[in-house]
Structure 1
C-alpha cells in the first residue's frame, strides 16, 4: 500500500551542463500516506525506469546479470510495523499471516471450553444490561441539564449491551434453546428499533465474507466510481465518512434492514415478523413515552440514548475492520484466515464500557468463531495471543486511532487500500482538513 508515484523519472540536461551529481533520496512513508522531502521521491518499483544519459558520446558497457535475493517486504520488518503503530495509533500491527494457514487451524488451536454456553453467565449479562439501563433512565430523570450528557452517555452505552445480547442470540451463543434465543434477541433489539431477523441475516453474511470488497455487508471503502458520480453525492460521502462517521450506522440501519428486496425468498417471512415487532414498538412505545413525558421527554429518554448507542455501533464497527494496512479484497483473492485473524482488530476500551458492552470489542476470537459466547471472548483471545500473537492487530481506543480512520480510510485503491478524499477532491474536502486540525494527535 505504498504511495503510487511515477514509475520512472527523466531528467534532461543541457549540452553544456556537467553530469548531474548523485543525490540522496530519502523519505518516510506509510501505507496510504506519503511524505516527500525536498531531496527526493519514493519510487514504487524500478520497471520502465529511464537512466540519465548525457548528450555527449558515451561508451556502452555490456553488463552481466547476477541473481540477487529479493529484498524483504517492508511489512516483514518489525521496525516498519512499529512506525505504523505510532502513526496509526495501534499497540501492535500483526505480521502477515502465512498463506497456508487456514481458519480451521486457528479454530482447532482454541480450548474447547470457550465454546461452551453457560446459562448463568448468559442471564447475568441480561441482568447487567437491564439494571444499567434502568439506572441510566433514573439518572436522566434526576440530572440537571448540565449533567444530562453524562446520563445520556451511560444510558446509550447500557442499551448497546442490549445489542450485544441480541448479537449472541443471533450467533446461537446465548442459549441451547433456539426459541429462547429468538425471543430474547427480538426483545433486546426492540428499544433500538432494530429488526432482529433482517439484522441477523445481514450479519451472517458479514462474518462469512469479512473484508471482501463487494460481498461484506458491514462497511467497506468508498468506490471511486461512486465518489465521482455526482458533486452532491461526493459532498455527502465526505461528510458521512468524515465528521459524521461516528453516526454512519444510522444510514446503514435504514438502508439495509427495512428493504425486503435485500433478502432471499426463504428469509422474507421471518423478516416480516421482525419488522412487525419493530413497528408495533414504535406505534405503542413512542406515543406512551410522549403521553407521559411530552416530546422533550421522548428526546431525553429515547432519542439521545439511541444516538449514544449508534455512536458505539459506528465506532466499534469501523475500529474492528478499518485501518490503512488492512486490505479489502475481491472474492478471488480473499483468504478467510487472513481476513478473520489478521484483518480484524482487538481494541481495549475503558473498563466501564467493556462491562456494559459485554466485551464485544474483544473482537478477533468472535471472528474466528461467532459461536464463542461474549463472556468467553477474553479466554479465547488469551489463547490466540499465546498461539498466534505476532499476527494480531491490537489497539487501545485513542484519538490518533480515530483520526487515522476518519481522515485517511476513504476511497478504495488496489495498490494503497485507501486513498484520502483530500487527494481526489481537495476543493470539497474542507471537513477532512478541519478534522485533521481539531482532532488531537496523541495515542
Structure 2
C-alpha cells in the first residue's frame, strides 16, 4: 500500500473539497494569467470604518512557473496529513528495501509467545463481555446504547483472540489454538477456518488489486454496470460503510466453492459449529429473554462488533495516498510497512480490542502476538519511522475515507462517486454536509 503521494494532489482537485486546507494543497503550479481583485491600504481603512466607499482595481498578474513540491518534502507531506486527518504520512519506501529487511530489524522477543499474557487477554475479554451483558440487563432504556457500545467492543476482543489463534501467535499448542479460535468466534457466528483461509490470503496479498480478500476499491466497470447496483454501491461504500463487514462476512465465508479442495473439510467443521450455535444458542436466548431479549443481548452487540470490524479494516488499509496495485506492480515491503496504517483509539477501546489497531507490525509479521505489538511498533518507529503512516482516530480521517476513497483509478488511486455520478451521489453529499471535520 505504498504510494505516489503526488497522485493525491489530483484527487484533491477532483473532489472539489471546499475547505481552504484542501484548496491550498491542490493549487495549480503551472504558469498562467490571473486576475486579482486588490484593495489598497486606504480602502481597507474605509472598509473597517463608517464610510461606504467601495472601489477596487483589477490587475493583470502573470504567474511565474515554479517547480512542483517534491513528494519527499516534509512540508508537503505535512499538508497532506493535515488534509486527510493523519498525524504522519510516510515517505515512499525505497524499492530496494525488502520485507525481510524490516522483519530482521525487529527484536526477537516480540515474536515470543507468553501463555500467561495470552490467557490474560481471554480473561479481559470474558470479564468485560460478562460486564456488558450485566449492564444490558440492568440499564434503563436510555442507557442501553452505552451498554451495547461497551459489549460490542468487548466481543470484538473475542475476535482478536481468534485472530491470534489463526495466525499461530496465541499458544505453542496448535490444537489449543484451533479450539480457542473456534470458541472465540462462535458468539460472532463467524466460522473460524473459512475466515482464517481468507485472512491468510489478505496478508499475503495486502492491497493487491484483485487478489486481496479484504476490501477492494470499487471497480469502475462494476460501478457502471447497472443503475441499481450503482445505487447499492454508493450507499454501501458511503453511509453504510461502517457496517459493510456484514456483507463481506456473508459473501466470503459460507460458500464452499470459494475454498480449495484441501480446505473444504476444515471449513465444513467450522460451519457446523456456527450452525450449531445458531440452532441451539439463539433459541435458548429467545426462550429465556424473548425476541426483544435476543435483540438486546445478541443482535445489538453483534452490530457493535461489525461497526468496529468495518471501521478498523478500512482505517488500516484505506487512504487517498495508499494505492491498490496490480500483481505485477506490487511490492510486499511497500504494502505492509508503507501502506498499512497505525491508528490510536481511546484507551478503553485499545484495551478491550487487545491493540489490534497497532497494525503495522502485525502486517510485517502476523506471528507477533497482540500483546507484543506495541513493543514491535516502537522498534519500527526507531528504525523505519519516516516511512510509517500514523493517525489518531478523528472525524476528518473517517470523512476522507467515506467521501473520497471509492472507485479505483490507476493514476489517482481513488475517484469519488460524486465525480463519476454526481446526480446519484446524494448520500455522499449528505456525508460531506453532516460529518464533522475535526482532526
Question: TM-score per shorter chain, which class?
Answer: 0.7 to 0.9
CA distance in 1, matches of 2:169, 2:181: 11
Matching residue of 2:415: 419
The answer on 1:119 being equivalent to 2:98 is no
Matching residue of 2:287: 291
Matching residue of 2:104: 108
Q: 1:383 aligns with which of 379, 385, 393?
A: 379
CA distance in 2, matches of 1:117, 1:412: 39
Output the TM-score relative to the length of structure 1: 0.86
**Does structure 2 retain, via aligned residues, the 8 Å contact 1:3–1:33?**
no
Deviation per residue, 1:203-230 (Å, 9 max, x gap): 0000000000000000010000000000
**1:121-160, aligned counterparts within 5 Å?**
121-160=117-156
CA distance in 2, matches of 1:138, 1:106: 45
Matching residue of 2:436: 440
Matching residue of 2:157: 161
Matching residue of 2:11: 32
**How far is 1:131 from its partner?**
0.1
Matching residue of 2:221: 225
**Does structure 2 retain, via aligned residues, the 8 Å contact 1:247–1:307?**
yes
CA distance in 2, matches of 1:96, 1:41: 22
**How far is 1:73 from its partner?**
6.5
RMSD, aligned α-carbons: 1.8
The change in CA–CA distance for 1:73 and 1:220 in structure 2 (over 3 A counts) is farther
CA distance in 2, matches of 1:272, 1:150: 37
CA distance in 1, matches of 2:73, 2:192: 44
Deviation per residue, 1:60-108 (Å, 9 max, x gap): xxxxxxxxxx967632111111111111000000000000000000000
Matching residue of 2:323: 327
CA distance in 2, matches of 1:230, 1:286: 38
The answer on 1:263 being equivalent to 2:242 is no
Deviation per residue, 1:393-442 (Å, 9 max, x gap): 00000000000000000000000000000000001000000000000011
CA distance in 2, matches of 1:219, 1:285: 30
SS, match of residue 210 in structure 1: coil
**1:265-414, aligned counterparts within 5 Å?**
265-414=261-410
**Does structure 1 retain, via aligned residues, the 8 Å contact 2:6–2:71?**
no
Q: State how many pairs are aligned.
A: 393
Matching residue of 1:184: 180
CA distance in 1, matches of 2:10, 2:197: 34
Q: Compare the two structures and name the one with the higher helix fraction.
A: 2
The change in CA–CA distance for 1:264 and 1:71 in structure 2 (over 3 A counts) is farther
**Does structure 2 retain, via aligned residues, the 8 Å contact 1:169–1:184?**
yes
Matching residue of 1:95: 91
SS, match of residue 386 in structure 1: helix
CA distance in 2, matches of 1:171, 1:42: 47
The change in CA–CA distance for 1:373 and 1:146 in structure 2 (over 3 A counts) is same
SS, match of residue 354 in structure 2: coil
The change in CA–CA distance for 1:137 and 1:391 in structure 2 (over 3 A counts) is same
CA distance in 1, matches of 2:416, 2:6: 12
**Does structure 2 retain, via aligned residues, the 8 Å contact 1:90–1:394?**
yes
**Does structure 2 retain, via aligned residues, the 8 Å contact 1:3–1:32?**
no
CA distance in 1, matches of 2:27, 2:347: 45
**How far is 1:32 from its partner?**
1.6
**Does structure 2 retain, via aligned residues, the 8 Å contact 1:31–1:324?**
no
**Does structure 1 retain, via aligned residues, the 8 Å contact 2:29–2:68?**
no
SS, match of residue 327 in structure 2: coil
The answer on 1:249 being equivalent to 2:228 is no
Matching residue of 1:12: none
Output the TM-score relative to the length of structure 2: 0.87
Please list every run of at least 4 consecutive aligned residues from structure 1 whose deviation after the TM superposition is greater than 3 angstroms.
1-4, 40-44, 70-74
Q: 1:75 aligns with which of 71, 74, 87?
A: 71
